[in-house]
Each structure stands twice: as structure tokens, then as C-alpha cells.
Amino acid sequence: MPSTDLWEIVGIALACSVPVVVLGGIVIRVARSWSLTLSMIVLILIPTLATFTGFLGAGVFMASEWFERIAVVLVIVSVVTIPAAIMLARYQARRMVWEQEIRESEQAAEQSRRRLVAFVSHDLRTPLAGIRAVAEAIADGVVADDEVRDHAKHIEHETIRLAEMVDDLFEMSKINAGAVQMNYDRVALDEVVDDVLAAHRIAAERAGVVLRADLPVEPVRVIGSDRALVRVLSNFVANAIAHTPSGGTVELAIGADERGAWARVDDTGVGIDEADLTRVFDIAYRGSNGRVPRSDSSLPSGSGLGLAIAAGLVQAHHGTVSAYNLGTGARFEVRLPLAGEE
């Protein structure tokens, strides 16, 4: 073949294929909002179509018989390779999305771990410093004999608080690791409410808060762990008592509707700042509306992880939690799937 003809063939092939490549690049650039799978399919089709157009353009220099044979081969190869390439593109797109989700999950877990470490280092330091100061004062003999009992009571309260924090940290670490193991059974929520009321009645009375329940006539049953559900509602009730002034009310109600079973804890407290509503269940997050000051130092102060633990336990039950403000106070609501009829 003369060199002149060869360069002419190359020029025609490029003239036919280059516009296809340019057009494909424009399409990909414009269609950034497309799905990753569709974008990868376009990437696969661009070189294939460019090859076809270049071949067809250069076909005028080929013998009719050879052109037809090569065209048939290209069609057969395309029929086989393009579907396979599309399947591989979809697989690769799913893999990239999955890897991105894994990276984001790991980053979120690392940020959560750092917040938790910072939170623990701060909140453990306070009771430990108090215990150490009181113990040193007693050991140095600077505390009068009639005051030793009061200081010993203070040490007892602080150690109980530390023990509760350690228990909450252990529970939170299991939730974060996905290692929460519970024995699921048919649970009547009214029995759970009875246990929660019994656990918090004395604390509510000492805080000057009325604690009451609103139960339906028919029992509401779910599939879950009674111990875990008691923990969830106890954390909500304790949080409500801590944020409700003396003379206020905390009400625990349960029921069921077309969306499943629900349990609500309503209070007449200070409410939740609007900026905090989406973050109240985050680990170690503390809203701008603090607890109500109490003169009774023996009242439980909590570890600051209660709401995060409650949210994790509800998620393990395939349920949801939400928080929002009422006219006065706030509401924390749990949604759980109803147990099937036996």
C-alpha cells in the first residue's frame, strides 16, 4: 500500500473517531449527576463506538470482501464484550460505592472514638479528683471527726457515679463494635414500664418531679429483650427527670398504631434547643440546655452516654428513636415492630 494511501486512511479514521471521543467526553462532563454505573458504561461505549466509526470511515479503501469480514468480526466481538463490560462496570461501580461507604463508616467510627476518649478523660477526671481530695483531707487529719461520715458519703456517691460511667462505657463499646447480644422474646411493654417506674420513683420524688404512666387497656407486645428495653426507657426517664424543674411532670406512655408499637417519655422541662435536636443521640454530645440544678447531690447525674446507648439498643431491635419539643418540655419516642399473633 502506498504511503500516501496509508496516511489518508489514518486521517479519515481519526476524522471519524475523534469526534466520537470528544462528544463522549462532553457527555461525561455534563452528566456528573448520573449514577456511577451509567458513567462507567459510557466510558466503555466511547472507545467501542470510536473504533466502529474509524473502521467504517476507512472502509472505502478496503476490498468489499475484506471489509465485510472484518465488519462481521467486529460486530461479533462487540456483542460478546459490550454486555460483559457493562456487567463488570456495574460490579466495579457497586464496589467503589461500597468501599466509599466503608471508608466513611471508618472515619465516622474514628471520630466517634476520639470524642468518646475526650469525653471520658474529662468526665472521669472530675469524680476522681473529688475522691482524691477528700481522701487526702481525711488522711491528713484536716477533717473533723463529725464530718468524716459526710465526706465518706461523698466518696460513696462519686464511686457509684464512676461505676455507672464504666458500665455505660462498656455498653457503648459493645454497641459500637456491633457485639450486642440479647435474648429476644415476646415482651409486654406495660411490664417494662412497671420496672422503669419502680426504678425511678424515688429519684423523681427527691427531685420534686411527678412520675406517671399512661398505659392502654390491651397489652402492647414486641419482640425484644426486656432488660434492654428497660435500659432504653430508663435512660429516657432519667434524662427527663434531670431536665425537669421541681413541680414538673414526666409521663411514660405506650401504645400501638399502624406503624407498630411506640413508647414515649414526655416532660415539662426546659426542652431541647433546636440546634441540638439532630445530635442528641450522638456519643458524648451535650446540648446547650443543661440539667436542672439539684440541691440533693445524691441524685444520679448520669454518664452522658445514656441517650446514645438507648439509640444503639433500639437500633439492635430494628426500631427507631426520635426527639422533638412539645409546647412545654420535650418528647423522646421509641418505635418498635409489633410481635406477631401466636
Render pLDDT for 322-335 as a digit per residue (tens, 0 to 9). 998 988 889 999 99
| Average pLDDT per consecutive 10 residues, the chain (342 residues; last block may be shorter) | 59 72 72 63 71 68 62 66 68 74 74 67 72 83 80 80 74 68 84 92 91 92 90 90 91 92 92 82 64 52 72 88 90 90 50
pLDDT score, position 133 = 83
Task: Give the span between the Cα atoms of 243 and 10, in whole angstroms.
Answer: 80
Task: Give the span between the Cα atoms of 133 and 329, in whole angstroms.
Answer: 38
pLDDT score, position 117 = 67
pLDDT score, position 342 = 46
CA-nearest of 214, 271, 217 to 244 is 271
pLDDT score, position 33 = 61
pLDDT score, position 103 = 80
Task: Give the span between the Cα atoms of 20 and 7, in whole angstroms.
Answer: 20
User: How much is the pTM?
Assistant: 0.59
Q: Residue 223 corresponds to which cell in the numbers above?
A: 419482640
Contact, 283 vs 115, CB < 8 A? yes
Render pLDDT for 109-123 as a digit per residue (tens, 0 to 9). 677 667 666 666 666
Q: Which residues pair with 263 in a beta bridge?
A: 254, 334
Instruction: Note the helical H segments in the chain.
Output: 3-30, 36-58, 64-139, 145-176, 189-206, 226-242, 306-316
pLDDT score, position 178 = 66
pLDDT score, position 70 = 65
Half-sphere exposure of 110 (CA within 13 A, CB side): 6
Angle between helices 226-242 and 189-206 (to 10 degrees): 30
Q: For 183-342, which CATH class? A: alpha beta
Q: Residue 68 corresponds to which cell in the numbers above?
A: 465485510
CA-nearest of 3, 61, 49 to 24 is 49
pLDDT score, position 183 = 76
CA-nearest of 23, 334, 46, 17 to 192 is 334
